[in-house]
Structure 1
Amino acid sequence: MPNSIDINTLNQLLAAGDAPLLLDVRRKADYAAMPQIIEGARWWDPESIDTWSKALPAGRPIVVYCVKGGSVSQSVVNRLHKEGHDAVWVEGGLKAWIESGQPIIN
């Protein structure tokens, strides 16, 4: 099972009828500086993963992204794997999503 997903594959998944759960896990300061998100995403503070990870639905694929697809989203994915979730992080993060011309919402 891959741990990451590219922008094109994410786009295909989001367009499909059974889209994955999309989580924005940028650090609080990064989210506050630019609160725009990928449509359908919900922001979760990565510092509070102990609290919110238990509320995630079991059995639903999860895609997480941070600013650049680095340590924040990768550590969240590792944690979600330990809890039995099927999770991947977005290669290049929100930065790659925007640079590829994909839409974001306020």
Structure 2
Amino acid sequence: MPTAISPRELAEAIQGPVPTQIVDVRRKTAFDAGAQMITGASWRNPDDTDSWIAELDSSRLVIVYCVHGHQVSQDCAARLEDEGIRAAYLTGGIEQWAAGNHPTIGKP
């Protein structure tokens, strides 16, 4: 089971001295339906992990999130860990993040 990180912990990590990689792994339909994403995140298709995993900086922690913080983000975090990348998933996903009034941006 991959590591979980709470919205509060992610907010603290974003403010910390070591840059955190944040990856939005909502399925394309969920991503397209949403108006916001976490500030500093980039979207990657969770069904195509093998094509983008090499783009990650394996020396830095990667936080992945989906809508609710369940299967999609947990599976992606586990896949990254299988490749030797330190990864965690955001509990509650973007919904809990936004409900806590943490910073989001409009999608590009």
TM-score normalised per structure 1: 0.94
In the aligned structure 2, how far is the partner of 1:34 from the partner of 1:42? 14
2:83 matched to which residue of 1?
Answer: 83
CA distance in 1, matches of 2:76, 2:35: 19
82-91 vs 12-21, which moves further = 12-21
CA deviation string 1:49-75 (max 9, x = no partner): 010012211211100100000000000
Aligned identity (percent) is 35
- Residue 90 of structure 1 and its aligned partner are, at CA, apart by 0.3
TM superposition score normalised by structure 2: 0.92
CA–CA distance in structure 1, aligned partners of residues 74 and 57 of structure 2: 19
3-state SS, counterpart of residue 85 of structure 1: coil
1:21 aligns with 2:21: yes
Q: Tell me the residue number matched to 2:56.
A: 56
1:38-53 paired onto structure 2 within 5 Å: 38-53=38-53
User: What is the RMSD computed on CA atoms of the aligned residues?
Assistant: 1.1
Which amino acid in structure 2 is aligned with residue 90 of structure 1? L
Name the structure with the higher strand share: 2
Q: Give distance in 1, aligned partners of 2:35 and 2:87.
A: 23
Written as runs of structure 1 = structure 2, the 5 A alignment for 1:5-20 is 5-20=5-20
C-alpha distance in structure 1 between counterparts of 2:35 and 2:23, whole Å: 13
What is aligned with 1:94?
A: 94
Aligned length: 105
Residue identity opposite 1:99 in structure 2: A
- Using the TM superposition, give the Cα deviation of residue 104 of structure 1 relative to its aligned residue in structure 2, in angstroms: 1.0
Moved over 2 A (4+): none
